[in-house]
Amino acid sequence: MATNFWESSHGCKDLKYITDRELLKLGLHYSNYLLRLGKKLGVRQQVMATASVYFKRFFIKNAFRNTDPPLVVATCMYLACKIEECPQHIKNVVTEMRNLVHETRIDGPFPYETFNLAEFEFYLMEDLDFYMIIYHPYRPLTQYLKLLGIEKSCIQAAWFIVNDTYRTDALLIYPPHMIALTAILMSCVMNEEHIKQEKPHLDLRAWFADLNINMEEIACITQEILDLWQVWDEYDETQVSSILRKLRAPQPQQLSRH
């Protein structure tokens, strides 16, 4: 994980109660919430991506233990819809989030009303330092693939890989074009035979060399994605309830000396 995460209040406070692996699984759980809420609202992928970055940035400064993450999820989505110019009525966001929490039966009730969401929106924007424009890897991804002439072979796999990076801290650390290039490199490895048919004379190694980029960053982003996939393989949503119970357990009282 990224250094800024471990130094944050989020990491320090939550890791007193659960392991780093459990914290990653909790992050996957709420990433799934964001995706499912976005689908219920019928918003574009970029809106969900923006909401995911807001969620990640909020929890650099805050701990899961000290907040109610479903409220943060709903508010991040509501704000992202505004910023990405496809606003949703606040009542609709609250209703769909309440339905989602009820369906999963993991986080308990969602007792919030529209005024709670509207109030929390100001706290969220403050913790985002009012920087709410997000630069995504999708545009450079499509530009690079078109330049290489391998859109047919790699666009789907590369797009899915970029989507997966929103479940990691990579978007908080690396510029969007580096994430796009990592997705292209990984998708090329996975679709090597198709690329040979579509672009038989493509020298991908020479192309990357001509870009004059830091390949160590590419390796770090790749490792973030591989680590995510490893955790994902063992992730089971039924584990989340026990993780939340551990996280919300009362803090042991120090024994008083007589």
Q: What is the pLDDT of residue 20?
A: 80
Residue 251: the pLDDT is 64
| pLDDT at 12 (0 to 100) | 59
Give the least confident one: 21-30, 80-89, 109-118, 168-177. Answer: 21-30
Q: Is the pLDDT of residue 202 over 80?
A: no
What is the pLDDT confidence band of residue 3, given thresholds at 50, 70 and 90? very low
Residue 11's pLDDT band, with cuts at 50, 70 and 90, is low
Region 43-53: mean pLDDT is 95
Please give the mean pLDDT across all residues of the chain. 86
On the question of pLDDT at 257 being above 70, the answer is: no
- CA–CA separation, 30 and 52 (whole Å): 9
Q: Is the pLDDT of residue 101 over 80?
A: yes
Q: What is the 3-state secondary structure (H, E, C) of the chain?
A: CCHHHHCCHHHHHHCCCCCHHHHHHHHHHHHHHHHHHHHHHCCCHHHHHHHHHHHHHHHHHCCCCCCCHHHHHHHHHHHHHHHCCCCCCHHHHHHHHHHHHHHHCCCCCCCCCHHHHHHHHHHHHHHCCCCCCCCCCHHHHHHHHHHHCCHHHHHHHHHHHHHHHCCCCHHHHCCHHHHHHHHHHHHHHHCHHHHHHHCCCCCHHHHHHHHCCCHHHHHHHHHHHHHHHHHHHHCCHHHHHHHHHHHCCCCCCCCCCC
pLDDT of residue 129: 92
Tell me the domains of the chain and their CATH numbers. Answer: 3-134 (1.10.472.10), 138-234 (1.10.472.10)
Question: Is residue 133 predicted with pLDDT exceeding 50?
Answer: yes
For the residues 181-185, what does the mean pLDDT come to?
A: 94
pTM to 2 decimals? Answer: 0.87
- Residue 255 is predicted with a pLDDT of 38
Greater pLDDT, 231 or 91 = 91
